[in-house]
Structure 1
Amino acid sequence: MRIIAGRCKGHRLKTPPGEGTRPTSDRVRESLFSSLTTLDVLTGAHVLDVCAGSGGLGFEALSRGAAHVTFIERAASVCRVITANARSLRVTGEVEIIQAPAASGAGRLPDGSIDLIFADPPYPMPEAEVTAILDACVPLLRDPAALIVLERSSRSPEPTLPEQLEVFRHRKAGETALWFLQLRE
């Protein structure tokens, strides 16, 4: 996996060994970041990458102008890969890594501190757990323009959203579905 654009363009990222993580494909990341660039949400943003895996989404956001990324990942071995990637990209001062389950890790962050959240839970994760992650993320959103991007299998059902969220945009790319969520007005 590589960084597609921005100041770290072309840098390769290490990925965790085994089948426990599923990096977002280059094609899906290109589509996602094209949308985010159009929405002008990256420059100076404080980003949260939940169920971060290798950190590909968060590092791509940093490369394209985000100010800071917090990664939440459950497995210590995967957190070590994120740390190695941050060192390789020379962005250790712009990242924080929290080793914890997604919902409890999100609960450690101050309310109203995040502009953009990537939630990329494992495809087999039960929908109730996905909803719990979204619930934990809602208080973190800085303002009504802040977004959550939920990545799921295109075969997954429509997510059950906390009442404070609504779907802003929905895209499918092959096996991947992206749900752009925002605070309900």
Structure 2
Amino acid sequence: MRIITGSARGCRLKTPKGQDTRPTADRVKESLFNILGSLVAGRHVLDIFAGTGNLGLEALSRGASKAVFVDQATAPLIRENAIHTKFLPASEIHGGDVFASLARLAAAHRSFDLVFCDPPYHKGLWQRALQVFDTTELLAHDGILVVEHGADESELPPLSGLVCVENRRYGHTTQLSFFQWRSYVEEDDA
């Protein structure tokens, strides 16, 4: 696994040893960042269920200003990868439960322009995370929440503010769903 482009292009990231991990494939990551394009530069990023820090570090390499990483099992590994890519000064790394961390970030009135949510598939975690974002102000008004989930996981939880603005499938295993605030999408359409 490597950083695809930007200031850390080609840097290889360390991956957890002995864990059954499913990092975002380079082709899916490249497609994701092609879709986002110029929407990455200067943004505050939140990468939850961050694993290696792959998505947040790629965003930093492409010009994001700051990234907050949250993962219970791999916080030390994310720190190593942030040091290796020279993005530690722009990184804030949280270990511990993702949902407890989200509650703390919301209580501190933190807001993010770009959120990556890449939890283990088939555990209901992405749906639960969507509901957290739908009921807090963690996602900025013009922000984008990107969820990576299984190709066979399409049932959305009840949402009052967020809407899916785009969905892409990658083979028989993965899909990316992009969410924004309904109020922002309606403003943009007017």
Answer yes or no: same fold by TM over 0.5: yes
By how many angstroms is 1:157 displaced?
A: 2.5
Indicate conservation of the 8 Å contact 2:126/2:149, yes or no.
no
Larger-gyration structure (1/2): 2
The 3 A distance-change label for structure 1 pair 102 and 161 is farther
By how many angstroms is 1:104 displaced?
A: 1.4
Indicate conservation of the 8 Å contact 2:131/2:157, yes or no.
no
C-alpha separation between the residues in 2 aligned to 1:50 and 1:161?
Answer: 21
What is the aligned partner in structure 1 of residue 31 from structure 2?
Answer: 31
C-alpha separation between the residues in 2 aligned to 1:47 and 1:159?
Answer: 23
What is the aligned partner in structure 1 of residue 40 from structure 2?
Answer: 42
What is the aligned partner in structure 2 of residue 12 from structure 1?
Answer: 12
Residue from 146, 153, 175 that aligns with 1:156: 153
Deviations 1:61-120 (A, max 9, x none): 000010000001011xx1111010011111111001111222211122233520000000
> Once the two structures are aligned, what percentage of the paired residues are identical?
40
**SS of alignment partner, residue 47 of structure 2:** strand
Could you say what the CA RMSD is over the residues aligned between the two structures, in angstroms? 1.4
Moved more, 158-167 or 90-99: 158-167
- TM-score, normalised with respect to structure 2: 0.89
1:140 aligns with 2:138: yes
What is the aligned partner in structure 1 of residue 186 from structure 2?
Answer: none
**SS of alignment partner, residue 4 of structure 2:** coil
- TM-score, normalised with respect to structure 1: 0.91
C-alpha separation between the residues in 2 aligned to 1:135 and 1:102?
Answer: 13
**SS of alignment partner, residue 90 of structure 1:** coil
Aligned pairs, number: 178
**SS of alignment partner, residue 19 of structure 1:** coil
Q: Which amino acid aligns with 2:30?
A: E
C-alpha separation between the residues in 2 aligned to 1:140 and 1:173?
Answer: 28
By how many angstroms is 1:137 displaced?
A: 2.8
Indicate conservation of the 8 Å contact 2:46/2:116, yes or no.
yes
Indicate conservation of the 8 Å contact 1:134/1:161, yes or no.
no
What is the aligned partner in structure 2 of residue 169 from structure 1?
Answer: 166
1:51 aligns with 2:53: no
Runs of 4+ in 1 over 2 A off after TM superposition: 18-21, 129-132, 135-138
Deviations 1:128-182 (A, max 9, x none): x433212323421121x20100000111133325321100100011221000000
C-alpha separation between the residues in 2 aligned to 1:176 and 1:157?
Answer: 11
Gaps of 5+ in 2: 184-190
By how many angstroms is 1:20 displaced?
A: 3.6
**SS of alignment partner, residue 82 of structure 1:** helix
Gaps of 5+ in 1: none
